[in-house]
Chains A and B, each alone.
Chain A
Amino acid sequence: MNGETDHDRLIQAVARTRDREAFAALFDHFAPRLKAYLMRSGAPPAAADDFAQDAMLTVWRKAELFDPARARAATWIFTIARNRRIDVMRRDGRVLPAPELNLGEIEPERPDDLFQTREDETRVRSALRNLKPDQIEVIQLAFFQDLTHAEVAQSLALPLGTVKSRIRNAMIKLRSLLDQPVGEHS
């Protein structure tokens, strides 16, 4: 029994047959998580409900684009939420496109560049477990708040420099665990 694989199959059922029961099962699992994600980012509950609904409608519309060989369901749905949230968190109300991530769209230049397979996902998760607790904390926090600017770092009651160096150390450690060199991206 593998819950993740079940979610993959549900998305594929939506893609193939517009299966509403499969969609409802996905909704039951992910909508409350999407809501919690946006509330941790500072949104009120009603706006977070709207956000969860919106992200799940996108799951329905884009199910054909899901590729289980590249990412597990939670990662794919996170990326949808990430793309939506940039719009939602804006205050000016205008609808303009934001830079979007599309998992699987980027073609690697060399075979070892490929960093978006299912196997790599497992490696990232096990690498995360090898970070120090304060490093894990700051990386997770970065998924809810912009930590690159002083005003938000204050909410951690830590100086911005400390937050940045903690993130840097965590990311360098993560890169070393995953064999991704720093500064040799081109």
Chain B
Amino acid sequence: MTALRQPSEERLLAYAAGTLNLPESVVVAAHLAMRPRAASWVNGLQSVGGEVLETIDPAPVADDLLARTLARLSTSPEDLAPPEPANDMTGLPEPLRRYALGPWRRIGPDMRVRDVLAPRHGDCRVILLSIGPGRTTPVHTHAGVELTCVLSGAYETDEGVFGPGDFEEADGEVHHRPRTVSAEPCLCVVALDGQIRLDGWIGRLLQPFVRL
């Protein structure tokens, strides 16, 4: 199977609709910030949402809701400027600049992670992962879905090479062993759902220490 390097149609639609959970939305948003044509398609899907809104059976609101809303209308001009960046990694795509970041933690030789302090969804959370040139992460499978977007550098798996902006979805079926093939470290943003499982006896020995 050829990897498309973009979110699946159902995940892109869920993102456009706003039904996708937040950690996954953060990774999709990073991908779209690096892929203007895909972002343009997602914007186009907003008109499907507009159609949903126009054709839905209206539900009468509380009698006093309009009065209460009018009472809350602001009269001063609005500050519509985008939010200030919440971290100092200036190379990150805009959607990732909105979040504070945890400290880098070393998880292996030339391998570091830091938390993206976006809201979790159950066990699902967002991390930045940096893997040095030539390094391979331990073989692992996923208890849930793992979404990855490459921010810089490149890695290779059985599915091919993934470079900046490329997006990969891995589920419990995939035995994943990405290897960095760029001269610089490969930096990715990853939504992890559930604990990853390291395969093999070395992996099982490493598992307690990795805490991804």
Q: Which residue of B14, B20, B24, B83 contacts A97 across the interface (Cβ within 8 Å)?
A: B83
Q: Is the Cβ of B41 less than 8 Å from the Cβ of A124?
A: no
Query: Which residue of B35, B50, B120 contacts A71 across the interface (Cβ within 8 Å)?
Result: B50
**Which of B17, B19, B25, B73 interacts with A99 by CB under 8 Å?**
B25
Known contacts A49-B61, A128-B51: does B13 contact A146 (CB below 8 Å)? no
For residue A176, CB closer than 8 A to chain B, the reply is no
Judging by beta carbons under 8 Å apart, are B46 and A143 in contact? no
Question: Is B20 a contact of A148 with CB atoms below 8 Å?
Answer: yes
Is A39 a contact partner of B59 (Cβ separation < 8 A)? yes
Cα distance, A52 to B65, chains bound together (Å): 9
- Give the nearest-CB partner of B66 in chain A: A27
Is the CB of B52 closer than 8 A to any CB of chain A? yes
Interface size counted on chain B using CB atoms at 8 A: 71
Contact A128 B48 (CB under 8 A): yes
Interface: B195 (CB within 8 A): no
Q: Which of B6, B9, B36, B39 contacts A172 (CB 8 A)?
A: B9
A31 sits at the interface (CB 8 A): yes
Taking Cβ atoms with an 8 Å cutoff, the residues of A that contact B are: 18, 20, 23-24, 27-28, 30-37, 39-41, 45, 48-49, 52-53, 56-57, 60-62, 64-65, 71-72, 74-79, 81-83, 85-86, 90, 92, 94, 96-99, 101, 103-104, 106-109, 113-116, 120-121, 124-125, 128, 139-140, 142-149, 163-164, 167-168, 171-172, 175, 178, 180, 182-186
Interface centre among B20, B38, B49, B73 (most CB of A within 10 A): B49
Q: Contact: B46 with A57, CB < 8 Å?
A: no
A57–B205 CA distance with the chains assembled, in angstroms: 55
CA distance in complex: A83, B46 (Å): 11
Contact B73 A125 (CB under 8 A): no
Most chain A CB within 10 A, of B37, B95, B165, is at B37
